[in-house]
Amino acid sequence: MSLIETLPKLIGWAIPLIILAVIILPQAIRILREYERGVIFRLGKLLGAKGPGLIFLIPIVDRMVRVDLRVVTISVEKQEVMTRDNVPVTVDAVVYFRVIDPQAAVVKVENFLKATSLMSQTTLRSVLGQAPLDDLLSQRESINLKLQEIIDRQTEPWGVKVTAVEVKDVALPDTMKRAMAKQAEAERERRAKIVNAEGEFQAAEKMVQAAAMMSKEPIALQLRFLQTMREISSEHNTTTFLPVPIDLFAPFKKTEPPKG
């Protein structure tokens, strides 16, 4: 049989083989990136996680679930929360997590992304509902740490590690904003009055010390009197009233008249 006669038969066999290879090879060969793992199931039974690199599968028999190991960011929807001191607030948060056990993330939970998001919502309402408004506004870091610890403890069986939780925004009602503004203004006025009172107290102490010094040294009182006269005379007044301390005449009172 000549080559010309056998060529159509070869082509007839080659075409189905090529089509079969095109269909089977994509199912038999998978390439996983550095940050990916493939959880392999053979006839429904878990074989384990493989990757990264080139993975060979048995078509129809094996099934692979691709899992991303990079950090995932989910935004927790705004939640209406009533604080411990009965103040209604609206809060939202951001949760950062990653898969550390691909097998558990596939086998232990149906959808770890959705499950982690719902767990974050319920934990956010629970934790913030136990905190007073002042702590919610001033101790944000401790609340974030507490949220991260609780969510991470709940998602650990799923092979999910929560790395951080950040409360983004705390929306207060308008009435509460006005009340807080009045409270801040009253606090500023209180501090101003305290500073003013402390200044007056210190000034009074200095005046008492100065009076005690002048009572011990009469010459100091005379020098102060002369300085006051100089200050008054420099103001270019036409008429000047000068109070004369009676202590200035004390030396004359003690002088005895000459005997005749």
What is the reported pLDDT for 83? 86
Q: Over the stretch 39-75, which tens digit does the pLDDT of each residue have?
A: 999 998 999 999 898 998 888 889 999 999 999 999 9
CA–CA separation, 203 vs 30, rounded Å? 86
Residue of 95, 133, 90, 89 lying closest to 113 (CA atoms)? 95
As a whole number, mean pLDDT of residues 110-124 equals 92
Paired sense of beta strands 53-56 and 29-32, if any:
antiparallel
- Which CATH number belongs to the domain containing residue 110 in this structure? 3.30.479.30
Judgement on whether residues 82 and 62 belong to the same structural domain of the protein: no
What region, left, alpha or beta, does residue 162 occupy, with left being phi > 0 and alpha being psi -120 to 50 degrees? beta
C-beta separation of 164 from 148 below 8 A:
yes
Is 213 contained in some domain?
yes
Does pLDDT of 257 surpass 90?
no
What is the reported pLDDT for 164? 94
C-beta separation of 194 from 133 below 8 A:
no
Does pLDDT of 7 surpass 70?
no
- Using CA of residue 222, residue 224, residue 226, residue 229, what is the dihedral sign? negative
Range of the domain at 118: 72-177
Does pLDDT of 130 surpass 70?
yes
What is the reported pLDDT for 170? 84
As a whole number, mean pLDDT of residues 26-44 equals 89
What is the reported pLDDT for 243? 60
Question: Amino acid identity, residue 5?
Answer: E
Is 260 contained in some domain?
no
- Report the DSSP beta bridge partners of residue 38: 50, 66
| Residue 20's pLDDT band (cuts 50, 70, 90) | low
Q: Over the stretch 136-182, which tens digit does the pLDDT of each residue have?
A: 888 889 999 999 999 999 999 999 999 999 998 888 877 766 666 66
Judgement on whether residues 81 and 55 belong to the same structural domain of the protein: no
Judgement on whether residues 92 and 147 belong to the same structural domain of the protein: yes
Judgement on whether residues 136 and 82 belong to the same structural domain of the protein: yes
CA–CA separation, 147 vs 169, rounded Å? 15
Exposure class string for 76-98: b at 16+ Cβ within 10 A, else e: beebebebeeebebebbbebebb
The tokens describing 233, both together, are 């005379």
Is 186 contained in some domain?
no
The total domain count for the chain is 3
CA separation (Å) from 234 to 22, 224, 226, 237, 238? 110, 16, 13, 8, 11
| Residue 249's pLDDT band (cuts 50, 70, 90) | low
Is 27 contained in some domain?
yes
Does pLDDT of 198 surpass 70?
yes
- H or E element, residue 224: helix 218-233
CA–CA separation, 27 vs 223, rounded Å? 108
What is the reported pLDDT for 34? 92
| Residue 24's pLDDT band (cuts 50, 70, 90) | confident
Is 59 contained in some domain?
yes
Residue of 64, 67, 121 lying closest to 98 (CA atoms)? 67
What is the reported pLDDT for 4? 61
What is the reported pLDDT for 197? 84
Judgement on whether residues 58 and 78 belong to the same structural domain of the protein: no
As a whole number, mean pLDDT of residues 192-214 equals 79
For residue 83, give the DSSP letter: -
Supply φ then ψ for residue 247, to 5 degrees.
-65, -20
